[in-house]
Amino acid sequence: MGNKNATDLLTVGSDRSPSRAREDYVKAIYQLGGGAPVRAAAVARYLNVSRVSVSKAKRLLEGDGLLEAEAAPAKPLRLSHKGRALAVAMVRRHRLLETFLHRSLDVPLERVHAEAERIEHVISDDLASRIAAFLGRPSSDPHGHPIPYDDATTSGGPLPTLASVAAGARVVVVSLDDRDDEAVGALASAGVLPGATLRVERSDTAKVRVRCGTRVVSLNRRHAAMVRIAT
């Protein structure tokens, strides 16, 4: 039986590398805190799991050396070096995959996130490098988020969103929040994409009306809040 490199394919529990769930916890902590400690309840909300699950995951992640073990009862979650490196690697893989899926395989913008979300857990670092090379080491993904190539610290605080500016402003779209497929689809079909210049015509509690090139589009506030901008 030609089964030398058996690599028992069914071993879920006894896998050495961090599992899907663990990687998601690490990524969530990183994305919520950007390096700073994060409250467990925030992680729970972000991942749609109970606080209890986060509490249990905490112990496991500490055991893996991904979380700084700090027996303090105050206990915000803080990533270790190893944890931060893993988080950055996950972000890199995710954004490279999104770029690849969109640019090379024509996957619609509002669907690349979900697809990348699953694939990012199973590709090797070698494959990620090959994808980066294939794409010419792109500097940002199709939603406008930068792709980290070293383990550089994240940039400054978050940018303001389109929901936060007053009428009359002229702004440039920097990025869309890829976690909300529905908003991404609506924004993309309205032409609100990274790099676009917008003029805010009106902004009330329900809607934000912007001019985007020649078009005038009306966005609901939830969608507008998914758009990060610069002036």
For residue 227, the minimal CB distance to DNA (Å) is: 26
Footprint (CB under 8 A) of a copy of itself, residues 127-156: 127, 130-131, 134
Q: 103 Cβ partners below 8 Å, 6+ apart?
A: 135, 138, 142
Residue 52 near DNA by CB under 7 A: yes
CB of 46 to a copy of itself, least distance (A): 7
Residues 165-184 that bind a copy of itself (CB under 8 A): 177, 179-183
Residue 101 or 212 having the CB closest to a copy of itself: 101
Q: Does 225 bind a copy of itself (CB under 8 A)?
A: yes
- With tokens 């913008």, the residue in question is 109
Place of tokens 């669907």: 111
85 contacts a copy of itself (rule: CB under 8 A): no
Nearer to DNA (CB atom), residue 54 or residue 192: 54
Q: Is 74 in the site for DNA (CB under 7 A)?
A: yes
- Binding residues for DNA (CB under 7 A): 8, 10-14, 19-22, 24, 39-42, 44, 48-58, 60, 73-76
- Binding residues for a copy of itself (CB under 8 A): 1-10, 12, 20-21, 24-25, 45-49, 53, 101, 104-107, 111, 114-115, 117-119, 121-124, 126-127, 130-131, 134, 177, 179-183, 222, 225-226
